[in-house]
């Protein structure tokens, strides 16, 4: 078994963690969350999304966030940009790293961003050009890599095709998202094996939702395949507002894998991250109090809060 010697953790609490909340989280609470995460030793924090608040109300005020948070030297503060307008707003806010978002499912692409997969590539072409012109790094997200709430199973070859195109367009890293949390370890390994033929494994990240409690084992499986970048959120909050079953039964996208649970896994494997798990737990409790609930993780309950 070959495992990475070091692992990068990308915190998605403030963006993917909050975008599905029904009640608007005040800017002051988001600033407190991000500033606390900045003290933990994390070196990449996703702050928000420059998307129309008409579609994702929780992401309103992202420009204000970038102007208000205490940006710590050495930490990457990134934002999701859906289109050219979003990129213009990111540039105006001085953002140096952005993310673009595509799907491996045609149906999910239509539901999520109201266009086909080919059209979604056309939509981000000017984003990539603007990023190149302004020296901005671009990270790529691919959703529904193991299953879709509308189409069911997704062929890994389709994921490889989307990820490969993003790589060729200039994305420095491609995050593979199990949007409805349906994957298992063997499926994860097969996915990484096939996608890594189109994108070097060193440029792949894993983004697991914990719908069926398999996120941690799927992350371990991905690490066995050489993946050394992991997306997670404090307290396991998050999910996609569009990832609902076609039969209208309850939302399957339970939430992101909890950052504190991932840190525990890595600690037991002897992999040093330089991240203070106690601060992550504090952040998990703090933001969940704002949301009027408790953290959806196991390690959040270790020690005093």
In whole angstroms, what is the distance from residue 143 CA to residue 181 CA?
Answer: 11
What does the pLDDT read at residue 246?
38
Q: What is the mean pLDDT of residues 181-194?
A: 97
What does the pLDDT read at residue 297?
83
Convert the pLDDT of each residue in 244-278 to its tens digit.
Answer: 543 444 444 468 999 999 999 999 999 989 999 99
What does the pLDDT read at residue 48?
97
Quickly tell me which residue has 């189109």 as its tokens: 198
For residue 1, being part of any structural domain is answered with: no
Query: CA–CA distance from 269 to each of 5, 177, 248, 272 (Å)?
Result: 10, 23, 40, 9
Query: CA–CA distance from 284 to each of 28, 154, 274 (Å)?
Result: 16, 32, 18
Q: Which residue has the higher pLDDT, 243 or 52?
A: 52
Number of other residues whose CB lies within 10 A of the CB of residue 61? 19
What does the pLDDT read at residue 303?
60
- Number of domains making up the chain: 1
For residue 69, being part of any structural domain is answered with: yes
For residue 2, being part of any structural domain is answered with: no
Half-sphere exposure at residue 4, Cβ-oriented, CA atoms within 13 angstroms = 22
Comparing CA positions, the residue from 204, 216, 209, 189 lying closest to residue 298 is 216
For residue 168, being part of any structural domain is answered with: yes
What does the pLDDT read at residue 242?
54
What does the pLDDT read at residue 247?
41
What does the pLDDT read at residue 59?
95
What does the pLDDT read at residue 252?
41
For residue 187, being part of any structural domain is answered with: yes
What does the pLDDT read at residue 241?
57
Q: What is the mean pLDDT of residues 89-96?
A: 98
Set 148, 171, 208, 240: catalytic member: 240
Quickly tell me which residue has 């992401």 as its tokens: 59
Number of other residues whose CB lies within 10 A of the CB of residue 110? 17
Convert the pLDDT of each residue in 206-243 to its tens digit.
Answer: 999 998 889 999 999 999 999 999 999 999 998 665 55
Q: Which residue has the higher pLDDT, 284 or 114?
A: 284
In whole angstroms, what is the distance from residue 210 CA to residue 298 CA?
Answer: 12
Q: Give percent of the chain with pLDDT exceeding 70.
A: 93
Residue 240 among the catalytic residues: yes
CATH of the domain at 222: 3.20.20.70
In whole angstroms, what is the distance from residue 255 CA to residue 17 CA?
Answer: 8
For residue 3, being part of any structural domain is answered with: no
Q: Which residue has the higher pLDDT, 2 or 292?
A: 292
For residue 147, being part of any structural domain is answered with: yes
pTM for the model: 0.94
What does the pLDDT read at residue 182?
92
Convert the pLDDT of each residue in 115-157 to its tens digit.
Answer: 999 999 999 999 999 999 999 999 999 999 999 988 999 999 9
Convert the pLDDT of each residue in 6-48 to its tens digit.
Answer: 999 999 999 999 998 888 999 999 999 999 999 999 999 999 9
In three-state secondary structure terms, 173 is strand
What does the pLDDT read at residue 262?
97
Structural domain boundaries enclosing 251: 8-301
Q: What is the mean pLDDT of residues 276-290?
A: 95
For residue 174, being part of any structural domain is answered with: yes
What does the pLDDT read at residue 299?
82
């Amino acid at each position: 078994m070959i495992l990475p010697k070091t692992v990068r953790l990308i915190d998605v609490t403030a963006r993917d963690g909050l975008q599905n909340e029904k009640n608007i989280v005040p800017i002051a609470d988001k600033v407190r969350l991000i500033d606390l995460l900045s003290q933990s030793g994390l070196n990449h924090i996703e702050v928000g999304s420059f998307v129309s608040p008409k579609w994702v109300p929780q992401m309103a005020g992202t420009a204000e966030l970038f102007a208000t948070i205490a940006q710590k030297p050495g930490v990457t503060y990134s934002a999701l940009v859906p289109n050219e307008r979003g990129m213009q707003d990111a540039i105006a806010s001085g953002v140096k790293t952005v993310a673009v978002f595509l799907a491996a499912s045609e149906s999910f692409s239509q539901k999520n961003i109201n266009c086909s997969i080919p059209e979604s590539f056309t939509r981000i072409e000017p984003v990539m050009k603007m990023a190149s012109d302004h020296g901005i790094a671009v990270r790529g997200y691919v959703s529904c890599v193991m299953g879709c709430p509308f189409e069911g199973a997704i062929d890994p070859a389709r994921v490889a095709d989307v990820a490969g195109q993003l790589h060729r367009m200039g994305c420095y890293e491609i995050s593979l998202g199990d949007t409805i949390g349906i994957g298992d370890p063997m499926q994860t390994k097969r996915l990484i094996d096939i996608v890594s033929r189109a994108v070097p494994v060193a440029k792949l990240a894993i983004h697991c939702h914990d719908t069926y409690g398999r996120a941690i084992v799927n992350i371990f499986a991905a690490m066995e395949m050489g993946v050394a970048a992991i997306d997670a959120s404090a307290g396991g909050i998050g999910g996609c507002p569009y990832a609902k079953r076609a039969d209208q039964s309850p939302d399957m996208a339970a939430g992101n894998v909890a950052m504190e649970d991932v840190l525990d896994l890595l600690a037991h494997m002897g992999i040093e991250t330089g991240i203070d798990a106690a601060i992550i737990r504090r952040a998990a409790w703090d933001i969940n109090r704002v949301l009027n609930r408790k953290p959806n993780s196991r390690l959040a309950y270790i020690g005093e809060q």
